[in-house]
Amino acid sequence: MGKAFLYGCATSAHQVEGGNINNDWWEFEQSGLIFDGSSSNPSCDHYHRYASDLDLLKGIGGNAYRFSIEWSRIQPVSSEFSQEEIDHYHQVLDALIKRGITPLITLHHFTNPLWLSKIGGWANPKLVDYFGQYVQKVVDEYGEKLNRSTGQTEPIYFVTLNEPSVYLLLGYLIEYWPPQKKSLIGLIKAFRNMSRAHKLAYEIIHKKLPNAKVSIAHHMSVLDPWRNNGLDNIAAKVYDWLWNQSFLNQVGDKLDYIGLNYYTRQRVAFPLKVFPTPGKEAGFAQWEIYPEGLLRILRRLKLYKLPVIITEYGMPQEANIAPEKYLEQGIAYLKQAMSEGIDVRGFFYWSLLDNFEWREGLSKRFGLYEVDYEN
Ligand code: IFM
C-alpha cells in the first residue's frame, strides 16, 4: 500500500454531479418517490464545478478524494460508450493530479444504467459480464494516466461496489430503493452476481494495473444484543453475520484492503428485530451517534489481516452534535486503533458537500461544506 496516509472526503456521482438522467435512480425520482420532492439534478452541479470543489478539499488539507464514475454516463446505451463523458472523467483526473490529490475511484455507487435495469438489474447474471466490459473500458481509458501519475510505484485505488449489503437490503428486500423488490430469490441472485462482478473486476483491474489496490466499500455497523440474554445474543450474531460478514467473506480472497463505511450502532432483539438504541435515535436516519463503534469495528477487522481504508465516516447534520466534534472523535478512535497496531491507511469523510441523500433528497445534509441549492 502507499506511503502517505490518505486523508480526504468522499462523494458519489449521482449524489453530487447533477444531470444523470440515464440511470434507474433518475427514473425513480421521476415517479415522485423522493420524500422532500427534490431531485438529483442539479444537486451540487459538481459535473461543472468539480475543479472549485477540489479546491475546497485541498483548502482543508485533503490529499485524497473518493468519487465515483457514473456508469450510465460513459455507457448510456449497451452498444456504445460516450467519448465525451469519458473525456469528462479524464478532466476530473487531471484536476486531481494537478492538485496532488490521490484519487480513489468507485466504479458502482448504487446507480445502474437504465438499459441494465430494464433487463432485470443485478438479478440478471448478464450484469456480471456487462460490469466487466465497463471496468475494462475504465482501466483501458484511464490506466495510463493513473500509472503515470503514480510513477508506477504508488498504488492506484479502486472500490468496485459501494455498500453491496445496503443495496441488496433496500433494493431487494424492503422495497425502499430501486428496483423496489421484495424477493429472497432476487436478493440471493443479486448477491451472487454482485460478488462475481467484484471478483471479475478485481482480475481485470490487476491485469492492466499491477499496482492497483482493489476492494469494496463495505458498510458495517456495531450490532449489540438489546438484552443480555441468550436469544437476543443469538439474534445479534445471526444479523451480524448477514449484515457485516456475509458479503465480505464471499469476496474476501479478492480484496487488497478493506474499504469500511462506518456510521452507527444498532440493537438486535429476538427473533430479528433491529433498531437504534432507544433514546439515542439521532437525525432523520435515526442513527445513534456512536463514534467509538469505529474502534470496535476496526478491532474486529484485524481478523482479515488486510490494511483498512475508512472509505466513509460521517453523520446527518441534524443529529444534535456538531460535525467537527464527531469528526474529532472519529479521528481520536482511529488513532487509538492505529496505536494498537491496526493497519489503517486512509480516512474519508462523508461527505465533502451536502448532496442528494437518495430517497431522503437534498434536505438531508451530510457535507463538511454546506450547499445553497438555490444558488
Ligand atoms: O449518502 C450515503 C452514501 O451514498 C453511502 N453511504 C452512506 C451515505 C449516507 O447515508
User: What residue has cell string 470543489?
Assistant: 53
CATH of the domain at 346: 3.20.20.80
User: Is residue 258 domain-resident?
Assistant: yes
CB 10 within 8 A of CB 312: yes
For 48-82, write each residue's pLDDT tens digit: 999 999 999 999 999 999 999 999 999 999 999 99
243-274 in b/e form (b: 16+ CB < 10 A) is bbbebbebbeebbbbbbbbbbbbbbbbbeeee
- CA-CA distance, 265 to 287, in Å (whole number)? 7
- 357, 359, 371, best to mutate for ligand 1 pocket (most atoms within 8 Å of CB): 357
Q: Is 183 exposed, middle or buried (0-12, 13-18, 19+ CB in 10 A)?
A: middle
320 lies in some domain: yes
Check if 312 has its Cβ closer than 6 Å to any atom of ligand 1.
yes
The whole-number pLDDT of residue 101 equals 97
Q: Would the pTM count as exceeding 0.95?
A: yes
Burial class (CB in 10 A: 0-12, 13-18, 19+), 372: exposed
pLDDT at 112 over 80: yes
Q: Kindly report the number of other CB atoms within 10 A of residue 49's CB atom.
A: 17
What is the distance between the alpha carbons of residues 207 and 280, in angstroms, rounded to a whole number? 47
Q: Is the CB of 25 under 6 A from ligand 1?
A: no
Average of pLDDT values for 1-10?
A: 89
Ligand 1 atom closest to 109 (CA):
4
How much is the pLDDT for 179? 98
Question: Measuring from atom 10 of ligand 1, which residue has the nearest CA?
Answer: 357
What tens digit of pLDDT does each residue of 136-181 get? Answer: 999 999 999 999 998 878 999 999 999 999 999 999 999 999 999 9
156: containing domain:
6-363
Any domain includes 372: no
Give per-residue pLDDT as tens, 268-281: 999 999 999 999 99
| Residue 364 DSSP label | S
Residue 1 belongs to a domain: no
pLDDT of residue 238: 98
14 Cα–ligand 1 center, Å? 11
Look at residue 370 and tell me if it is in a domain: no
Q: How confident is the model at residue 319 (pLDDT cuts 50, 70, 90)?
A: confident
By most ligand atoms within 8 Å of CB, the mutation choice from 46, 167, 358, 362 for ligand 1 is 358
Whether residue 82 is contained in a domain is answered as yes
For residue 263, the CA-to-ligand 1 centroid distance in Å is 9
Whether residue 371 is contained in a domain is answered as: no
Work out the average pLDDT over 87-97.
Answer: 98
Tell me the pLDDT band of 320, cut-offs 50, 70 and 90. Answer: confident
State pLDDT tens for residues 118-135. Answer: 999 999 999 999 999 999
In a domain, residue 368? The reply is no
Q: Reduced to 3 DSSP states, what percent helix, strand and coil does the chain have, rounded to the nearest 5?
A: 45, 20, 35
Of ligand 1's listed atoms, the one at least distance from the Cα of 162 is: 5
Q: How many domains does the chain have?
A: 1
Average pLDDT, the chain: 97
